Amino acid sequence: MKPLLELRGLGVCYNGAVAPALEGVDLDLAAGERLAIIGESGSGKSTLARAISGLLPQTARLQGTVAWPGLDHPARNGRDIGFVFQDPASSLDPVMSVGDQVAEVAHANLDIDWGAARRLAVELLDRVKLPEPEALARAYPHQLSGGQKQRVVIAAAIVACPKLLIADEATSALDTIVQAEIVALIRRFVAEDGMALLFVSHDIALAANLADRIAVFRHGRMVEMAATAELLARPRSDYSRALLAAHLGLKAHSGASR
């Protein structure tokens, strides 16, 4: 079967940078597959997510190809790709009600009128488990908690039933309990709607929890990619081993301090 997304020799160089932010990335993503991208800060994870979705700054130089064999048209943001970024506040318009923001994505990408888009938005706010979605749809972002805002962002990301959901450090700004709730939501929607997931994270445990496969990035290169269980049991690269050891070290430390 054709993959949904196919990257070949993908490289990105930001204007003025000496070293490329991304180099020689070959990657296939199947429809409905859940892939985690992990690596330390600056390893190129967000650059990869932005290159896939055409959101790089205009001055960045792109090499190689981003192809969508699984689509019969060029990928459109909002319609084919949904995004959830780290900071929900910056993803939302402060002067527009949250219901209208979700409705706007639906109206722009689905063939429905504004009334239907607004009703669909309330449905989605309910689906992401926001309380009293009808009333909440009329609220503005500043009236919501960080976790609630991220739920609104997820509702907007999935309202047009995209084929790929990109979550870039989507839970990093949230406390542990809210983080677990948001991960559970993402997991459920990906399973229910059959979307593929690109889960970008520096947290190997979180990634392992969600993904079928894990790709490890370092200094803009993919150092290893394997099925999640395989990578955890038999990491091939020294760097993946070090990431795992650091995580186990953290776990042992927090266990010891209880």
Ligand X SMILES: Nc1ncnc2c1ncn2[C@@H]1O[C@H](COP(=O)(O)OP(=O)(O)OP(=O)(O)O)[C@@H](O)[C@H]1O
Q: Which residues bind ligand X (CB under 6 A)?
A: 14, 17, 21, 39, 41-47, 57, 202
Instruction: Report in angstroms how near the CB of residue 105 gets to ligand X at its nearest.
Output: 24
Q: Identity (one letter) of the amino acid at 62? A: L
Q: Identity (one letter) of the amino acid at 137? A: A
Closer residue to ligand X in complex, CB, 68/85: 85
Concatenating the DSSP letter of every residue in 146-176 gives: HHHHHHHHHHHHHTT--SEEEEESTTTTS-H
Closer residue to ligand X in complex, CB, 45/107: 45
Closer residue to ligand X in complex, CB, 39/78: 39
H helices present in the chain, as ranges: 45-52, 88-91, 98-109, 114-127, 133-136, 146-158, 176-193, 204-210, 228-233, 238-256
Instruction: Report in angstroms how near the CB of residue 210 gets to ligand X at its nearest.
Output: 17
Rounded to a whole number of angstroms, the distance between the first and last alpha carbons of the chain is 49
- Which DSSP symbol is given to 190? H
Closer residue to ligand X in complex, CB, 37/144: 37
Closer residue to ligand X in complex, CB, 86/161: 86
CA 102/CA 119 separation, integer angstroms: 10
Closer residue to ligand X in complex, CB, 57/255: 57
CA 237/CA 231 separation, integer angstroms: 10
Instruction: Report in angstroms how near the CB of residue 169 gets to ligand X at its nearest.
Output: 6
SS3 137: coil
Closer residue to ligand X in complex, CB, 117/204: 204
Instruction: Report in angstroms how near the CB of residue 7 gets to ligand X at its nearest.
Output: 15
Instruction: Report in angstroms how near the CB of residue 224 gets to ligand X at its nearest.
Output: 15
Kindly report the number of other CB atoms within 10 A of residue 203's CB atom.
17
Instruction: Report in angstroms how near the CB of residue 207 gets to ligand X at its nearest.
Output: 13
CA 64/CA 11 separation, integer angstroms: 6
In the Cβ-directed half-sphere of 38, how many Cα atoms lie within 13 Å? 30
Instruction: Report in angstroms how near the CB of residue 122 gets to ligand X at its nearest.
Output: 33
97: which residues sit within 8 A by CB, 6+ positions away? Answer: 137, 138, 139, 140
